[in-house]
Amino acid sequence: MYVSDWKGYELSLSLLYNVRSAEGDCDFEKIESNEGVYIANVYDSEKVHHMRTYGNKKEASLHDLSAFKKTVISYDNGANWHIIKAPTLVSEK
């Protein structure tokens, strides 16, 4: 994903390894109730690199990497991204 400057002219890379569907749709959502807040699912680049480099000699395709997904959030229009940690305790009701 890329973000633009305030004029909309210069683009900067904001987020790599977005999770996409087979049709190419990006797993990315704008939170309408909070301006500048976005949530996306991405592949963990370190784990993907490690699997491709030190794995079982089979190149990892992004479709086989569902275990390497993480959810990230940006509060500043995509300038910075933070991992959303999964809850440690799940309540069943």
Higher pLDDT, 50 or 15: 15
Any domain includes 57: yes
Any domain includes 9: no
The domain of 67 spans 16-83
**Span 40-54, pLDDT tens digits:** 999 876 666 666 666
Any domain includes 66: yes
Any domain includes 1: no
Per DSSP, the residues of 16-69 read -SB-B-TT--B-EEE-TTSTT-EEEEEE-HHHHHHHHHHSSSSPPPGGG-GGGE
pLDDT of residue 64: 61
Any domain includes 77: yes
Any domain includes 91: no
Alpha carbons within 13 A on the beta-carbon side of 2: 7
Any domain includes 51: yes
Q: Does pTM surpass 0.85? A: no
Split into its structural domains, the chain has a count of: 1
Alpha carbons within 13 A on the beta-carbon side of 93: 2
